[in-house]
Amino acid sequence: MHTDAERCLRAVRSKDSRFDGWFYTAVVTTGIYCRPSCPVVPPKPGNMTFYPSAAACQRAGFRACKRCRPDASPGSPEWNRRADLTARAMRLIGDGVVDRDGVPGLAARLGYSTRQIERHLLAELGAGPLALARAQRARTARLLIETTPLPMADIAFAAGFSSVRAFNDTVREVYALSPSRLRARHTPGGGQAAPGGALSLRLPFRAPLNPDNLFGHLVATAVPGVEEWRDGAYRRTLRLPYGHGIAALAPRPDHIACRLTLSDPRDLAVAISRCRRMLDLDADPAAVDGQLRADPLLAPLVDGAPGRRVPRTADEAEFAVRAVLGQQVSTAAARTHAARLVIAHGDAVDDPEGGLTHLFPTAEALAGVDPETLAMPRTRRTTLTTLVSRLADGSLALGAGSEWAGTRAALLALPGFGPWTADIIAMRALGDPDAFLPTDLGVRRAAAGLGLPSTPAALTARAAAWRPWRAYAVQYLWATDDHPINFLPE
């Protein structure tokens, strides 16, 4: 979008927050960059230039606006809509791969050379992977500076910097303030220090957001010990690169209230990224609902409760295991099967604030399970053991950087994997916004009630008009039922 100057100018003049994260406005006379909805008086058009990313602005020598805090805006919805190299790289950078494994590690996961990745990111985002990771480190550092009493040296390494000097130089360059001055001028409104070493912050999103099916689905399918609904918040344990954490997420009219308790502060950026991805907070509801509303049979559903998101997951491998456990059984039975695995093979955690007890078991732990101990039909045992062994040995990779079509084909090649299982994993674990479930009983029942074709082939043909947002159409179709997944818990 940043190449369309006229469109960008209209967004800046209208201070339209829907475009936050789509592009950034750099003001050449002041040397700062802003989000489109910045509350200050817009500069003259000749003094504005537009960039596709905060990293590109920083690379060009601009510093972040202190009023609108552009680095805290929702992420670009492009990276959740696409499955090309650039989008996959951006999802992996958001998951901290560059900070942990460097650009060679990013390249290895994507199957491209470092030179190819550099060229693609520079062409589309105006910044390479190191600059993009640096911008994320600066954002994490600011959050820790403003919301925790941690010493600056601890913040530097927790944010991913290799030295205190690099941390100081980056903060001064990006925010035009030293770390100590940034902490001194902070006023409440972003993140806040919370008792017990927890961190409370606000996760922004593009309005509207309908929380009913989003939180309803996560809670109705919650695995005891790993997930729960308590005091108006969805809480779950997180397995993170350096340790573990507990996230509590509660819907608010203009943000998601997020409370994180981490065993290692270096996991902060990854934890935030996974929570945003799980709640689909970087989606563009205007684009999604606009296209679905064009179908006269879907329009009443969209108009009645706009802004539905796709409930996703914080751990792709975990969701794949749970999808197999849920084959041809009720939601309650799937939760029971998963809870047994958690108690037997999950890692125990302490949760003084609630009832969470375990991390979901890793694929490596489940690969060593005796199949005869699994209380399920023999064919499903084979499906589960094959899946976890492939995940454990690395021959099947499920993660933020997965290529959707190739991974779906790899899943369908496994014994016991049909289209429904592969597509529900593509939808909720891989994040494919166009994944569709024409054989799902709830979808077919809703389609018949609306006058849509109910046979899988005919419904798939009709749903071609909903592309590339068929996963969101599924949420609207499911919402016609009175199943608990469609209602925000009391």
Question: pLDDT value at position 192?
Answer: 52
> Domain containing 15 — which CATH number?
3.40.10.10
> Domain containing 107 — which CATH number?
1.10.10.60
- 285 shares a domain with 230: yes
Contacts of 283 (CB under 8 A, 6+ apart): 77, 80, 205, 206, 309, 310, 433, 472
Q: What is the CB neighbour count within 10 angstroms for residue 147? A: 20
- 140 shares a domain with 46: no
Query: Is residue 310, in this structure, part of any structural domain at all?
Result: yes
Question: pLDDT value at position 435?
Answer: 96
CA gap 304, 43 in Å, rounded: 39
- 159 shares a domain with 98: yes
- 206 shares a domain with 86: no
- 282 shares a domain with 403: yes
C-alpha distance from residue 291 to each of 248, 359, 443, 470 (Å):
33, 39, 19, 10
Query: Is residue 161, in this structure, part of any structural domain at all?
Result: yes
Of the chain, the end-to-end C-alpha distance in Å amounts to 41
Query: Is residue 282, in this structure, part of any structural domain at all?
Result: yes
Contacts of 154 (CB under 8 A, 6+ apart): 265
Question: pLDDT value at position 77?
Answer: 80
- Give the structural domain span for 455: 202-486
The catalytic position among 8, 34, 65, 275 is 34
pTM of the model: 0.89
Question: pLDDT value at position 186?
Answer: 66
**Per residue of the chain (490 residues), what is the pLDDT tens digit?**
788 889 999 999 998 888 888 899 999 999 999 999 999 888 999 999 999 999 999 999 999 998 888 877 777 787 778 888 999 999 999 899 999 999 999 999 999 999 999 999 998 889 999 999 999 999 889 888 887 888 999 899 888 898 999 999 999 999 888 999 988 876 444 445 555 568 888 898 999 999 999 999 999 999 999 999 999 999 999 999 999 999 999 999 999 999 999 999 889 999 999 999 999 999 999 999 999 999 999 999 999 999 999 999 999 999 999 999 999 888 899 999 999 999 999 999 999 999 999 999 999 999 988 888 888 889 999 999 999 999 999 999 999 889 999 999 999 999 999 999 999 999 999 999 999 999 999 999 999 999 999 899 999 999 999 999 999 999 999 999 999 999 998 7
- 393 shares a domain with 362: yes
Question: pLDDT value at position 476?
Answer: 97
Residue 134 phi, psi (nearest 5): -65, -40
- 471 shares a domain with 394: yes
Single-letter amino acid, residue 96: G
Q: Are strands 227-230 and 199-203 parallel, antiparallel or unpaired?
A: unpaired
Domain boundary among 141, 157, 184: 184
Query: Is residue 197, in this structure, part of any structural domain at all?
Result: no
Query: Is residue 283, in this structure, part of any structural domain at all?
Result: yes
Question: pLDDT value at position 194?
Answer: 52
- 32 shares a domain with 90: no
Task: Identify whether 169 is a catalytic site residue.
Answer: no
Query: Is residue 329, in this structure, part of any structural domain at all?
Result: yes
Task: Identify whether 34 is a catalytic site residue.
Answer: yes
- 83 shares a domain with 35: no
Domain boundary among 150, 184, 218: 184
The catalytic position among 289, 315, 423, 440 is 440
Domain boundary among 135, 153, 184: 184
- 217 shares a domain with 170: no
Instruction: Please give the tally of structural domains in the chain.
Output: 3
- 235 shares a domain with 128: no
Query: Is residue 70, in this structure, part of any structural domain at all?
Result: no
Query: Is residue 398, in this structure, part of any structural domain at all?
Result: yes
- 105 shares a domain with 18: no
Q: Are 139 and 182 in contact (CB under 8 A)?
A: no
> Domain containing 474 — which CATH number?
1.10.340.30
